[in-house]
Structure 1
Amino acid sequence: MEAIGIEQRTLADRLLQLEQKSTATDDAPAATATLGAQFVKDAGYADFQKKTSRGSVGLELKNTVTNAIANTFSERRPGVVEGAFRLFTIEDLLVRLPTSANAIDWVRENVFTNAAAETAEGIQIPQSSITFTPGTMPVQNIAHFVKVTRQLAMDNAAMAAYINRRMVYGVNLRVENQLVSGNGTSPNLSGLTNAGNFTAHGYTAAALTALNLSPTNRFDLIGKMIGDCALADYPADVVILNTADWWTLRLTKDSQGRYILGDPGSSVPPVLFGLPVVASNAMVSDNVWVGSLAQAATLHDREQIVLDLSDSDENNFQLGLVSVRAMRRLALTVEKPAAARYGDLTPA
């Protein structure tokens, strides 16, 4: 009887543990599927695995690009997921609008003359004026492809990692470069630093010296540019610097050898004068962009990342290869160049 009682208590404990585990699982929030995970779980991908004839499968993926390494696939293959990756921030600060067109009709504000004034009864109300320049911005394609072995394409875990860590990253890397420095000549985007998309900060070394500011102190120039945006009623919301220039500022010391932006052992967010700093290799070295991205520009999304998988390319079928293509379609319009300042970080 004692042995039976012990066994009953043991079984009861096991049942309680199973119930608790089930409850914890049900209460846990569902993890957001990564781009690669979405792709390999799509019905089209399953059909591609089963088919014996040539063909292709495509899927548009629209969730936010995140760090897709942790806990997203069952195994890692050397040579598939290694590499250096840039953090993308500029897109998060832009106004983003979906579009179904292949070109964007837009207008750029030239001059706003504000004549608003106190008006007595019976007196003519003053008239303000705004001038615009209309334009059409084509939606551009940014894409690339690679060839992989069919064996890799049939391996869900490796394929998810490959798509996440290479194809998607490669497209968005190029997108950020174009958002900042695209020259506007098709098929390039017209980037933030393209002529006509900004107001030159206009400072020379002599001008800064005349204002009792140092022409070699980068903090002085950036602070002055932020102030100019505020004076123009376009309060800045971001500073964009080249990565090397940011670290030059981060390592700046005072006359006593102390780091101005914080000790090396402390966690220092990239912030200057209360504004977030985007340190990006897309920005040309020794240049700086300061302004209100929310007011200056708009990102038009025609298609988010579209992934295509096909063995129909030339010689793929015979060689047992599969082409993986990642493509994105978008346009950037800068409606208010007055909301942005750009120029040399250390003017001559």
Structure 2
Amino acid sequence: MSEAILKALDAVEGKLTAMSQKADGEMKSLGKVSEDTKTALDTIGIEQRTLADRMLALEQKSTATKDDEVKVESPGAEFVKGAGYQARLKSPDQRGSVRMEVKNTITNAIGNTFSERRPGIVEGAFRVFTIEDLLTSIPTTSNAIDWVRENVFTNAAAETAEGVQKPQSSLTFVPGTMPVSTIAHFIKITRQLAMDNAALAAYINRRMIYGVNLRVENQLVAGNGTAPNLNGLTNAGNFTAHGYTAASLTALGLSPTNRFDLIGKMMGDAALADYPSDVVILNTGDWWTMRLAKDGQGRYLLGDPGSSVPPSLFGRPVVASNAMTAGNVWVGSLAQAATLHNREGVVVEISDSDENNFQLNLLTIRAERRLALTVEKPAAARYGALVPA
């Protein structure tokens, strides 16, 4: 049986060597290891560990002896064998109690345990990105975006009698410009890690891409517009403040603490301005506070927890994102309000020609992306405190 396992191990070693050479070749020629190769390496590694565990179990079984077994006496048996009880048997007239201390049974005294290696990497948190998918996205080949936005439209159109001068309307415009921003970061790893642990190297590449896109989502919402930052949806000038206070909502017969009332009013105001809203953006925590709201009978206002209906308010989809500041809400027509301009997708590059990398046998992995967000219609968006003061 052990000979068969040894032969299988030799075969697995051969496959592992061949696949490692393939991974090295891909890393040198492509700068990364293909998904197929990474999957094959993981599979071979699992097979190798399984065979090694079987071989170890056989060796332990063959060398085990009866001397290794520890006989554990029951408390009663230990009591009967104890010196106090035996002395009592010899002197039945002796008075007093017989005391015995039962100690914890110690097992595995020689540390005969072995760790189990889990395949793959235990990942950290990965946010599900939602904002970018809702934006109108177009490619660009420039380093800056210029646009002209309507400022004021005075509509004088009216019914006109024959022979009478027609009324004149007027339009004014405001130019706008936004540079393309670069969002990037880098990390250093050893050349040995890149060559010897393809799965870990691939995971690092994935994390680098995720880090760029995480920053992009935060900037799309909260970027302050000062170069090199993006000009986010909630930056001053990119929205119309909802303008409500606790007093003004109360005067309208609405509750200043009822988040549903405020969002409904914001939607109504957007529709009155001819910008019917297509999305509500809330902080994740704020959304779950609303989702768990109940009526006087303990029923969920937004439906049974078992419902699979996508989150929505007043028929409009809700996007919950940690990029949105807690306590605030954005309501509007995202398709009309803003445009995402993609100059370059996430690019991952690896180099040993950075600082003293060559001397230290290090590799620098850099990930970066270039894009710009333009908010052409601030009137199509409403933003402000979710519970006004």
- TM-score per shorter chain, which class? 0.7 to 0.9
- How far has the Cα of 1:327 moved from its partner? 0.3
User: What pairs with 1:176-325 in structure 2 (closer than 5 Å)?
Assistant: 176-325=217-366
SS of corresponding position for 1:257: coil
Is the counterpart of residue 49 in structure 1 residue 28 in structure 2? yes
- How far has the Cα of 1:122 moved from its partner? 4.0
Given that 1:81 and 1:161 are in contact with CA atoms closer than 8 Å, whether structure 2 keeps it comes out as no
- How far has the Cα of 1:127 moved from its partner? 3.0
Residue 329 of structure 1: aligned partner: 370
User: What pairs with 1:114-193 in structure 2 (closer than 5 Å)?
Assistant: 114-154=155-195, 155-164=197-206, 166-193=207-234
Residue identity (%): 75
1:235-263 Cα deviation digits (max 9, x unpaired): 11111111110010011011111111122
TM-score normalised to structure 1 length: 0.76
Which of the two has greater helix per residue?
2
Query: Which consecutive unaligned segments of at least 5 residues does structure 1 have?
Result: 1-40, 51-55, 59-68
Given that 2:346 and 2:367 are in contact with CA atoms closer than 8 Å, whether structure 1 keeps it comes out as yes
Residue 154 of structure 2: aligned partner: 113
SS of corresponding position for 1:333: strand
- How far has the Cα of 1:95 moved from its partner? 1.2
- How far has the Cα of 1:48 moved from its partner? 5.5
| Residue identity opposite 2:379 in structure 1 | A
SS of corresponding position for 1:295: helix
Distance 1:331 1:259 in 2: 40
TM-score normalised to structure 2 length: 0.68
Specify whether residues 128 and 46 from structure 1 end up closer, same or farther in structure 2 by C-alpha distance, changes over 3 A only: farther
Distance 1:240 1:112 in 2: 29
> How many residues align structurally?
289
1:170-200 Cα deviation digits (max 9, x unpaired): 1111001111011111111111111100000
Specify whether residues 314 and 256 from structure 1 end up closer, same or farther in structure 2 by C-alpha distance, changes over 3 A only: same
Distance 1:87 1:236 in 2: 23
Residue 56 of structure 2: aligned partner: none
- How far has the Cα of 1:72 moved from its partner? 8.3
Which one scores higher on RCO, CA 8 angstroms, separation ≥ 6?
A: 1
SS of corresponding position for 1:162: helix
Query: Which consecutive unaligned segments of at least 5 residues does structure 2 have?
Result: 1-21, 44-117
SS of corresponding position for 1:116: coil
- How far has the Cα of 1:339 moved from its partner? 0.3
